[in-house]
């Protein structure tokens, strides 16, 4: 098995170019089946070791492959390479064999010997481990041919799943740090670099979508010898894992983007604020920073240019509110993470009172390619006002959960049905919550709307960081709004009255509605509270926490009315409004439901129809789960 080269310090851009040429053949096998062996290596076994696959035992699979290869005398000819997240999370652990270009899903430890025997020694796929779109579909050998990947356009995620994130040479072989080298060549006047970022049309990928070039310019124009750049990796939205996957799969891309931004802005120090609940991301960031420092790509006199840039990691304690930039800055300073009033904005007075620029992971990750290829290249993707691509986390009632990167402007239908594979279990699509707990719910009538900043805001939602939670016909929209509001209420820092008291009051109303205690006037009161909180809360968390309520009221008002006036949940999801009933014509008297009922609410003799006592029933649903054979139990 080939060894990672020594981390020799690079003294100039020419050294970096030379190293790229030297390292590139290592990756050749992954791009060209006819590529010459690299140091005797003829095959690569790429194993996903992102958080999702790691939780499914992929590190043990890595070791099993190494042992099996050594056992067969192939250890020197085959490289076993760990990668970051491929994005096809539901199908992990994932294994790709090069140069045969075979893509395996749901790999287990016991599959390793068969893969080595059939794919490495004989060059043939193990058919039972290949992806099938449906049970009766033909197996797909190459991942490029799977709709989930074929319909994406991966710019930010270009390296994720294709390189070892803990080997800086693999990043350099894929043009890594060439953008920084190009930027350093213009360090005497970085105006041209700023213009390329502005020309790209890149907007912040963390929430509001403020133009990145304009944000850099504001901080750059503030006088001061000391400035900072920050990467906001405090990803806390339920169902979101875009930033985590980028940091785990391609950490050098973010580091390089921050270095370029610091050069343009005039900063010499930066912080990556990442939540401590992301231990693998933190580990790979530490490895990447240490490698970049050892090679002269971070720290003092970068690439012999005389320019210095120090980068630190700050682990957050998991407070969702610290995703708001002023609260994040407070946390880095060692204070309690609570938002502060603006102005002054961080660009003027941020970290320790110095001018500070803060962008999220995906924003920074786009910068190296923009500098290498030019702003016009990036602007060729997307729409007039929303340029480039966006990474979305697909979760909920969708067949293919995972990460999808698509051009701005693609419709929600294409993302959910063409890439996500449609709704689980053949159920009917009902809505999608986009933008996390601060976003909004869009109904089926909006499914063909293009996904871009302006279109989503017009529809009552927002891009946010890119979480897409898909819900089906069995989801109660009132309960969904209650769930997201419960999250933001719990995560409120409590500093301002509108958010602290207003979110609690709205949550109490929603709890009453879902429990059958709703009253006339509740809907109007919710709307009034929501609009007042949006106008008066101190920070973005408070200002956007009413969005799920306002959007569900806008598109699913009839569900609220049914809960309040008819005491019914149309989706049959709110247990307090349900009645469980046994159809005597279907009941065969097997007693399965009676055995499982925790409240002894079911009566009946064996082989005779059973009944449920509504006064004893606790509405747990165990009887419904138990009655699979005759399907006599129903809820109404």
CA 64-69-75 angle, to 5 degrees, is 120
Which residues on adjacent β-strands are paired with residue 96? 46, 103
User: 3-state SS string over 228-254?
Assistant: EEEEEECCCCCCCCHHHHHHHHCHHHH
Contact between residue 492 and residue 420 where contact means Cβ atoms under 8 Å apart:
no
Neighbours of 451 (CB within 10 A): 26
CA distances from 446 to 385, 440, 451, 455 (A): 20, 12, 10, 10
What pLDDT score was predicted for residue 3? 44
Q: Is the pLDDT of residue 139 over 70?
A: yes
Rounded Cα gap, residues 321 and 503, in angstroms: 14
Which residues on adjacent β-strands are paired with residue 45? 80, 97
Residue 33, Cβ density class (10 Å: 0-12 exposed, 13-18 middle, ≥19 buried): exposed
For the stretch 345-400, pLDDT in tens is: 999 999 999 999 999 999 999 999 999 999 999 999 999 999 999 999 999 999 99
* Residue 482, C-beta contacts closer than 8 angstroms, at least 6 positions apart: 507, 510, 511, 513, 514
Contact between residue 533 and residue 496 where contact means Cβ atoms under 8 Å apart:
no
Rounded Cα gap, residues 549 and 507, in angstroms: 10
Q: Is the pLDDT of residue 89 over 50?
A: yes
Q: How would residue 5 be classed by pLDDT, with cut points 50, 70 and 90?
A: low
> Given the structure tokens 């994040």, which residue do they identify?
328
Task: Show the tokens assigned to 138.
Answer: 């033909």
Q: Is the pLDDT of residue 47 over 90?
A: yes
> Given the structure tokens 């580990």, which residue do they identify?
283
Contact between residue 110 and residue 35 where contact means Cβ atoms under 8 Å apart:
no
CA 456 to chain centre: 19
CA 633 to chain centre: 39
Task: Show the tokens assigned to 268.
Answer: 């010499």
CA distances from 586 to 232, 591, 593 (A): 57, 13, 13
* Residue 173, C-beta contacts closer than 8 angstroms, at least 6 positions apart: 20, 23, 24, 26, 27, 163
Q: In this structure, what are the phi and psi dihedrals at residue 394, rounded to the nearest 5 degrees?
A: -90, 115
Tell me the pairing of strands 95-98 and 467-472: unpaired
Collapsing DSSP to helix, strand or coil, 299 comes out as strand
Rounded Cα gap, residues 456 and 162, in angstroms: 32
For the stretch 545-555, pLDDT in tens is: 999 999 999 99
For the stretch 209-235, pLDDT in tens is: 899 999 999 999 999 999 999 999 998
What pLDDT score was predicted for residue 153? 94
Task: Show the tokens assigned to 277.
Answer: 């609940």
Which residues on adjacent β-strands are paired with residue 442? 432
Do you know the residue count of the chain?
A: 636
What pLDDT score was predicted for residue 347? 96
Contact between residue 160 and residue 100 where contact means Cβ atoms under 8 Å apart:
no
Beta strands in 36-137 (DSSP E): 43-48, 78-83, 95-98, 102-104
Task: Show the tokens assigned to 565.
Answer: 């006036």
Rounded Cα gap, residues 468 and 415, in angstroms: 10
Q: How would residue 182 be classed by pLDDT, with cut points 50, 70 and 90?
A: very high
Rounded Cα gap, residues 60 and 127, in angstroms: 22
Give the mean model confidence (pLDDT) for residues 463-470.
86
Residue 459, Cβ density class (10 Å: 0-12 exposed, 13-18 middle, ≥19 buried): buried
Give one DSSP letter per residue of 482-514, joined into a string.
HHHHHHHHHH----SHHHHHHHHHHHHHHHHHH
Rounded Cα gap, residues 234 and 331, in angstroms: 11
Task: Name the average pLDDT for the chain.
Answer: 93
What pLDDT score was predicted for residue 459? 86
Task: Show the tokens assigned to 475.
Answer: 């989801």
Rounded Cα gap, residues 122 and 513, in angstroms: 63
Tell me the pairing of strands 43-48 and 95-98: antiparallel
Q: In this structure, what are the phi and psi dihedrals at residue 496, rounded to the nearest 5 degrees?
A: -105, 145
Give the mean model confidence (pLDDT) for residues 73-80.
95
Contact between residue 65 and residue 58 where contact means Cβ atoms under 8 Å apart:
no
> Could you tell me the domains of the chain?
42-150 (3.40.30.10), 188-372 (3.40.50.11540), 389-475 (3.10.20.600), 478-566 (1.20.1440.230), 579-635 (3.30.70.20)
Q: Is 111 left (phi over 0), alpha (psi -120 to 50) or beta?
A: alpha
For the stretch 145-173, pLDDT in tens is: 999 999 999 999 999 999 999 999 999 99
Give the mean model confidence (pLDDT) for residues 414-425.
93
Q: In this structure, what are the phi and psi dihedrals at residue 413, rounded to the nearest 5 degrees?
A: -60, -45
Q: In this structure, what are the phi and psi dihedrals at residue 79, rounded to the nearest 5 degrees?
A: -90, 130
Q: Is the pLDDT of residue 509 over 90?
A: yes
Collapsing DSSP to helix, strand or coil, 90 comes out as helix
pTM of the model: 0.93
H or E element: which one contains 66? helix 58-71
């Amino acid at each position: 098995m080939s060894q990672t080269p020594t981390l020799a310090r690079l003294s100039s851009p020419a050294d970096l170019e030379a190293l790229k040429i030297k390292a590139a053949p290592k990756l050749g096998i992954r791009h060209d089946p006819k590529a010459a062996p690299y140091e005797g290596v003829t095959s690569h076994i790429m194993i996903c070791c992102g958080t999702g696959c790691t939780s499914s035992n992929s590190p043990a699979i890595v070791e099993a492959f190494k042992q099996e290869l050594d056992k067969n005398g192939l250890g020197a000819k085959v490289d076993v390479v760990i990668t970051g997240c491929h994005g096809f999370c539901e199908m992990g652990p994932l294994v790709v064999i090069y140069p045969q270009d075979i893509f395996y899903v749901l790999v287990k430890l016991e599959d390793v010997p068969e893969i080595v025997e059939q794919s490495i020694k004989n060059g043939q796929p193990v058919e039972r481990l290949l992806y099938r779109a449906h049970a009766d579909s033909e197996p797909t050998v190459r991942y490029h041919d799977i709709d989930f990947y074929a319909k994406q356009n991966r710019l930010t995620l270009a390296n994720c799943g294709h390189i070892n994130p803990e080997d800086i040479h693999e990043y350099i072989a894929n043009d890594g740090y060439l953008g920084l080298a190009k930027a350093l060549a213009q360090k005497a006047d970085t105006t041209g670099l700023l213009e390329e970022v502005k020309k790209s049309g890149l907007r912040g990928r963390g929430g509001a979508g403020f133009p990145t070039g304009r944000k850099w310019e504001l901080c750059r124009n503030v006088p001061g010898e000391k400035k900072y750049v920050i990467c906001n990796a405090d990803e806390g939205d339920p169902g979101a894992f875009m930033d985590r996957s980028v940091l785990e799969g391609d950490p050098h891309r973010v580091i390089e983007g921050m270095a370029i931004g610091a050069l343009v802005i005039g900063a010499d120090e930066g912080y990556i604020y990442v939540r401590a609940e992301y231990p693998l991301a933190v580990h790979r960031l530490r490895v990447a920073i240490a490698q970049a420092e050892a090679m002269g790509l971070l720290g003092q006199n970068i690439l012999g240019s005389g320019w210095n840039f120090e980068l630190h990691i700050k682990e957050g304690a998991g407070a969702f509110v610290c995703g708001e930039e002023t609260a994040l800055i407070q946390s880095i300073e060692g204070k309690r993470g609570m938002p502060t009033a603006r102005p002054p904005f961080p660009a003027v007075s941020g970290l320790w009172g110095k001018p500070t620029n803060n962008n999220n992971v995906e924003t920074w990750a786009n910068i190296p390619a923009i500098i290498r290829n030019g702003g016009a290249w990036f602007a060729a993707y997307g729409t007039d006002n929303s340029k480039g691509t966006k990474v979305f986390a697909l979760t909920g009632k969708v067949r293919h959960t995972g990460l999808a990167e698509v051009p701005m402007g693609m419709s929600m239908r294409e993302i959910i049905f063409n890439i996500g594979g449609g709704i689980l279990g053949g159920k009917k699509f009902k809505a999608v919550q986009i933008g996390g707990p601060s976003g909004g719910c869009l109904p089926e009538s909006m499914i063909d709307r293009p996904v871009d900043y302006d279109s989503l805001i017009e529809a009552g939602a927002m891009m946010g960081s890119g979480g897409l939670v898909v819900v089906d016909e069995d989801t109660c929209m009132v309960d969904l709004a209650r769930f997201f509001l419960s999250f933001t209420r719990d995560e409120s820092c409590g500093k301002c009255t509108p958010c602290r008291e207003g979110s609690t009051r709205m949550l109490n109303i929603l709890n009453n509605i879902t429990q059958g205690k709703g009253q006339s006037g509740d809907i109007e009161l919710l709307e009034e509270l929501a609009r007042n909180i949006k106008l008066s809360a101190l920070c973005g968390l408070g200002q956007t926490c009413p969005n799920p309520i306002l959007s569900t009221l806008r598109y699913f008002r009839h569900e609220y009315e049914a809960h309040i006036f008819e005491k019914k949940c149309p989706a049959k999801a709110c247990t307090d409004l349900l009645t469980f009933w046994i159809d005597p014509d279907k009941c065969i008297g097997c007693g399965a439901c009676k055995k499982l009922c925790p409240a002894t609410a079911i009566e009946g003799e064996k082989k005779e129809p059973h009944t449920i006592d509504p006064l004893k029933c606790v509405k747990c649903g165990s009887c419904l789960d138990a009655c699979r054979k005759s399907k006599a139990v129903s809820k109404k």
